[in-house]
């Protein structure tokens, strides 16, 4: 396989003014084109901080050193205009809880159309038709009803699929996922995980996904990176990490996965 990185973190350090140690420390990692890279670790390990650094979602006072290269361009030196062009159109984002991502007082259709029109020169009606097609492509029944619904009228699984449809509507080459299954029950979580896996394989989108569940990483990831206390502990292919982990911390994560036997 001719592997080529779409995203590279080169000796990245992220410092918050409220912390005595870096949230992310001297981290180097590559995300390969057309693959799912799973970022695994306990709460507070720096996973979400690393993910959000790609699209510039840092709190005030945050300082970053190193490089974040996307398609060869350093995002840390990109202008605000360049970042706006990357967000959504080239880099999509799926948050942990779609119920918080979607505005509760506006219908899904209005939010979906607004997002599309912010990036594309289309009418509101054209945007709604595009939204309908995206929802149908993700096997969401009766797209018209979803677009005419408020977020609270949808189940957790439907809201998360709607958020995925919105993220994928602009055909980004990179999709960032911040624990997209953790707010769902087991059945809906498995369906969303399979959906993301299918999007990677059928549409060729590269995915960087944060999770605390190494079992999920083993189920859908091509590569797995393990983080602890802001540092990269171990990285490799799924087979390398699951079958022959080198680090004690990775072994403990694997041993914590419940077994039916």
Pair 104, 153: CB distance under 8 Å: no
| Residue 127: band (very low, low, confident or very high) from pLDDT cuts 50, 70, 90 | very high
Residue carrying the six token digits 């799973």: 38
| HSE-CB of 28 using CA atoms within 13 angstroms | 2
Strand order in the sheet with 91-94: 91-94, 174-178, 206-211, 36-40, 223-228, 231-237
Q: Strand 63-70 and strand 73-74: pairing?
A: antiparallel
Q: Of 52, 37, 27, which Cα lies nearest the Cα of 5?
A: 37
Which tens digit of pLDDT belongs to each residue from 36-63? Answer: 999 999 988 999 999 999 998 888 889 9
Burial annotation 151-163 (CB, 10 A radius, 16+ → b, else e): beebebbbbbbbb
Pair 30, 8: CB distance under 8 Å: yes
Q: How far is the C-alpha of 77 from the C-alpha of 22, rounded, in Å? A: 20
- Give Cα 161 to chain centroid, integer Å: 13
The DSSP secondary-structure symbol of 119 reads: H
Report all structural domains of the chain as residue ranges with CATH numbers, in order of start. 5-98+173-255 (3.40.50.300)
39 strand-pairing partners: 210, 225
The torsion angles phi and psi of 52, rounded to 5 degrees, stand at -70, -20
| Residue 70: band (very low, low, confident or very high) from pLDDT cuts 50, 70, 90 | very high
Pair 28, 232: CB distance under 8 Å: yes
Q: With the C-alpha atoms ordered 207, 42, 232, 10, is the resulting torsion angle positive or negative?
A: positive
Query: Residue 158, by phi and psi: left (phi above 0), alpha (psi -120 to 50) or beta?
Result: alpha
Tokens of 96: 């942990």
Which tens digit of pLDDT belongs to each residue from 159-189? Answer: 988 999 999 999 999 999 999 888 788 888 8
Does residue 81 have a pLDDT over 80?
yes
Does residue 234 have a pLDDT over 90?
yes
The pLDDT, as a whole number, for residue 260 is 55
Round the average pLDDT of the chain to a whole number and report it.
91
């Amino acid at each position: 396989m001719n592997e080529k990185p779409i995203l590279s973190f080169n000796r990245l350090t992220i410092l918050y003014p409220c912390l005595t140690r870096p949230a992310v420390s001297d981290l180097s990692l590559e995300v390969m084109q057309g693959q799912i890279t799973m970022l695994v670790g306990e709460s507070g390990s720096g996973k979400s901080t690393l993910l959000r650094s790609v699209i510039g979602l840092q709190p005030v006072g945050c300082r970053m050193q190193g490089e974040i290269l996307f398609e060869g361009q350093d995002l840390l030196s990109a202008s605000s205009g360049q970042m706006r062009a990357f967000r959504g159109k080239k880099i999509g984002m799926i948050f942990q809880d779609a119920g918080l991502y979607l505005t509760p007082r506006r219908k899904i259709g209005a939010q979906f159309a607004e997002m599309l029109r912010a990036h594309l020169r289309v009418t509101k009606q054209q945007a709604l038709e595009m939204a309908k097609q995206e929802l149908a492509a993700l096997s969401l029944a009766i797209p018209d009803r979803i677009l005419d619904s408020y977020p609270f009228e949808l189940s957790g699984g439907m809201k998360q699929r709607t958020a995925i449809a919105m993220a994928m509507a602009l055909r980004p080459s990179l999709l960032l996922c911040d624990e997209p299954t953790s707010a769902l029950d087991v059945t809906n979580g498995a369906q969303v995980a399979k959906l993301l896996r299918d999007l990677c394989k059928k549409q060729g989108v590269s995915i960087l996904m944060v999770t605390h569940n190494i079992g999920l990483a083993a189920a859908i990831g091509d590569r797995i990176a393990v983080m602890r206390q802001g540092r990269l502990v171990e990285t490799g292919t799924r087979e390398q990490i699951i079958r022959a982990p080198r680090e004690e911390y990775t072994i403990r994560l694997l041993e914590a996965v419940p077994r039916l036997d």
